[in-house]
Amino acid sequence: MQLFKPDPLHRFLHSEAIMNLSLGLYTKIIMGMSCLLLLSSCSDKDSQLKFSNPESGYDQSYEDYAAEGFTDAELKDLFSQLIKLSESQDRTVGFYQAVLQPQVEKHFAPALDADPFLTAVAWYKDTTEGNRDAMFTISELDAAMKDEAQKYVSMLYNQISDSDRMHSWKWLQKLKMVKIAIDSRDDMGLGQYYPYEPRAMHDLNQDDPWNKSNTISDLSDFEARVIAASWDKPVLIKFGLTYCIHCLLLENMGSVPAFHRAHEDIVDVYKLWWNPKSDDYAQLNAIAEAEVVKSSPWFILYENGRQIKAGYGFPDQNGDGLEDFLELIEP
């Protein structure tokens, strides 16, 4: 006599694909299981009306979404269906593969010359997860995608915030674009890697027109363009350490100028570079200390001469990712 019949979520968590995750991530999954069990046990009348056969409903959704790659919203939908299935082990492997196939722009084609955005992604991942040899190889990329996919799936299991999960999905999308570029290079006989110049990635490019006009230079500049100006219009400022690799990634992707261009009608945006290891940044270091900035990239929103929000920010190449700050700005 069978004393225990595994429910769908139990089958999902103990499938081969999930058991192969790292111990740390698997532990996080188990910690979030009680919450998910509650959700999966709740009746879902809308779902029951939509699919008389949950398995066929899931398979149809998977097929529809797969045509152009999977968006974050589509993966979330698939997961919500998957945990309700009685036999989900085979589909679990397919779901994990779907996470590794994020949707990219329909007409995306890597440039023959070095692309600044792809170069920034390759440099960042090779520096943080590779061997820092100016070549982001296909094997390093595959490892980075697997690691990011595990993070993403763990976020789904544990119901981490939509914004954090989207940030992870966007990294999968970026890596997929680099993979397409590497495949293209390989077809042309250029090797299975994406090159970058390490020294160039550390260039703050002070000659860029936006950087010239939107970088805070000293205390008087900060008082005038941030504190005083915020009485007339909200001001968002990014504090970045000159040696912060996350800040340099944003710099090379043009994330902060992109955000400003998208929202310049409601907020002014500036950068402030600081370096507590150098006396050349004495005034800027003093500003960072006075504003209680301890790390970077740290964003602070000012209104009426005072801070109204502060925190980490990681906008993408389009400037998306600072929605929490935008919510406090009245148009």
pLDDT at 97 over 50: yes
Report the half-sphere exposure of 73 (CA within 13 A, side-chain side).
0
Q: What are phi and psi of 268, to 5 degrees?
A: -90, 145
pLDDT in tens, 218-265: 999 999 999 999 999 999 999 999 989 889 999 988 999 999 999 999
Q: What is the pTM of this model?
A: 0.75
Indicate the pLDDT class of residue 43, thresholds 50, 70 and 90: very low
- Average pLDDT for residues 113-131, to the nearest whole number? 89
Please tell me the CATH code under which domain 202-326 is placed: 3.40.30.10
C-alpha–C-alpha distance, residues 31 and 257, integer Å = 40
DSSP 8-class letter at 68? T
**Could you tell me where the beta strands, DSSP code E, fall in 230-323?**
235-241, 268-274, 298-303, 306-312
Question: Mean pLDDT over all residues of the chain?
Answer: 84
pLDDT in tens, 196-224: 998 888 887 778 899 999 999 999 999 99
**Closest listed residue to residue 254, CA positions, set 268, 266, 271:** 271
Radius of gyration of the CA atoms of the chain, in A:
23
Supply the pLDDT for residue 87. 67
SS3 state of residue 236: strand
C-alpha–C-alpha distance, residues 175 and 168, integer Å = 11
C-alpha–C-alpha distance, residues 136 and 144, integer Å = 10
- Average pLDDT for residues 157-179, to the nearest whole number? 92
